[in-house]
Chain A
C-alpha cells in the first residue's frame, strides 16, 4: 500500500507538471464545451434530454481522456529506461500498475470535475435532479476508468508509446462497437456480446439516463480489474523474457 502511495504521488505530480496532460485536458474540455453548446443545447428540448445528450458525448470525451492519459504510463518509462528504478526496487508489479492507474484516474476525475459547470447550467435553467447528474458523472468516471485500464494494459505491452496508443485504441473500438456485431448474431451469442459491450447496454441504457444499475457498476469494475490484471501479468511476464 505504501509503495502504491509513493508511485501515485510521483505520477500525479508528473501529470500536474506535464504540459501534455493539461493540453489534453484543455482540448477535451473545449470539445466537450463546443458539443454542449452546439449539439446538446440546440432547439427547444426537455432538460432531461439535454442532460442525456451531454452525457452521450461526454462518455466519448471520458474514454478519449482515459486512453490519452494512460497509453504512456508504462511504455514511456520503458522507453526512457526509468522503469528499471521501479523494477529493481522492492515494489511488486501490482503496486506499480495500481500507483500509476490511480494517479491517472485522479487526473481524469479532475478533468471530469472541470466539466461540471455544464450540467449545472442545465439544472439552473431546467428541471433535472442532482441525482441524475451524479449518476451520469459516476458513469463517466467508470467508463473512463475502464478506458484507462485498457490503455494501461496496452502500455504494459509495448515499448513504443505510439504502438501502445494504437493497441489501446483498437481494443477500445472493438469493445465499444461490440453491440453492432451482436446485432448480426443470434442468441445466446448476441446477448453475451451485448452484455460485454462497453458503452451501449451499460452506459447508454443506464448511466446516461440517470439510472443506476448495480450490474452496470459491476461490469465496469470487472472490465477495469480485468485489464489491470492483464497489465500486471504482462509486466511479470516481461521479466522472464
Chain B
C-alpha cells in the first residue's frame, strides 16, 4: 500500500502541490487526472523518490520514502513523461544497465530479459540503438526499464503522450497486462485514457486533490450531476410553460428546472436532480393530467465530473 499524508511541494516560492493525502491499495490501478500544471507529475515524481517533498510523509509498503528512499526505489518502477533513455545504447544493453542499477545481478537480468522483451513487444528491436527507434518503441523501452526489476509499484507519467492512435491502443493493452502483476499509477489529462485503464481516480487541480474514487463514485458523489429531461405536450390554457414548471418543481428530488425548449411537438425541461427520479417525474406529470411524450435520464460521465471539479478549483483560486 502507498499512503501519502499531507504531501506538499514548493518549487522555490511557487506552490506546486498539496497538501494532499491519499492511499493506494495493492493491486489497484489508480489514475491521476488533472489539467496541465495540476501537480500530477510532481506527485508522481515524489512517489518515485525522484523529488523530495517540501512537507508530508509517504509510506510505500511500510517503508518511509523520505527516510529510506533507496528501499522504496527498489520497489518502484518509474516511467517519466520523457523516457530516461540513452540513445547511444542498444535496447538490451540499456535494459541490462537499468536492471543492474536496481540491484539485479547479471544472471537475474539475463533470466528476466526475454519476459520483459516479450511483454513490451521489443524482441524485434532488441539489438537496435535506442536513438534509431520510433517514438512508440522508445516509449515501450521506457516501460521495459520500469518493469525489468519486477517492482511492486509501477508509476507511469503520461504513458501515451505523443503516440499515434495505433500505438495508444497498444500501450493501453500493455498497461492492462501490467495491471495483472503490479500496482499501477498512471497520470494523464486524457479522460478516456484514465477511464479505460484505471480502477480508481484521483483528480488534481491547482495542486489540490479535488476528488477520489471510481468513475462511478465520482459521478454519484455530487447531487447535481444527474439530469432528467422530460418532454411534455403543452396543455391548453394560459401559461402552459409556467404550469408545467410548477408541477415539475414540486416533484421530490428535483432541485431545479431549466427554461424549456421546444422538441418534437412538446416542451422539453431539463431537471437537475439529487437522485434518479424518473419514476417520480412520470407519476407527477401524469397525476397533473399532462401528456408525457419523452423522458431521458443521463448520469454525468467522467468528463462532466472532471470539468466540474477542475472548474470549481479554478473558480476557488
- Chain A interface (Cβ within 8 Å of chain B)? 3, 6-7, 10, 13-14, 17-18, 80-92, 239-241
Contacts and interface: CB of A to CB of B under 8 A. Distances in A.
A14 B84 CA distance: 15
Interface of B: 11-12, 48-52, 70-71, 73-74, 76, 78, 80, 82-89, 93, 97-98, 100-103, 145
B98 A85 contact: yes
Contacts of B88: 14, 17-18
A239 B52 contact: yes
Contacts of B73: 88-90
Contacts of A18: 88
B84 A90 contact: no
Shortest 3 CB-CB contacts between residues of A and residues of B: A85-B84, A89-B101, A81-B82
Contacts, number: 62
Contacts of B51: 239
A241 B71 CA distance: 22
With most chain B CB atoms within 10 A of its CB, the pick from A18, A90, A240 is A90
A81 B70 contact: no
Given A14-B86, A17-B88, A86 B80 contact: no
Contacts of A87: 49-50
Nearest to A236: B52
Q: Is the interface of B mostly helix, strand, loop or mixed?
A: loop
Contacts of A91: 101
A228 to B, nearest CB: 20
B157 to A, nearest CB: 10
A36 to B, nearest CB: 33
A82 B84 contact: yes
Contacts of A240: 52
A52 B315 CA distance: 74
A159 to B, nearest CB: 13
Contacts of A85: 84, 98, 101, 145
A89 B50 contact: no
Contacts of B70: 90, 92
17 contacts: A10-B86, A14-B86, A14-B89, A18-B88, A80-B87, A81-B83, A81-B84, A82-B85, A85-B84, A85-B98, A87-B49, A88-B48, A88-B78, A89-B73, A89-B98, A91-B101, A239-B51
A138 to B, nearest CB: 32
B7 to A, nearest CB: 15
B11 A241 contact: yes
B182 to A, nearest CB: 15
A84 B87 CA distance: 15
Nearest to B86: A82
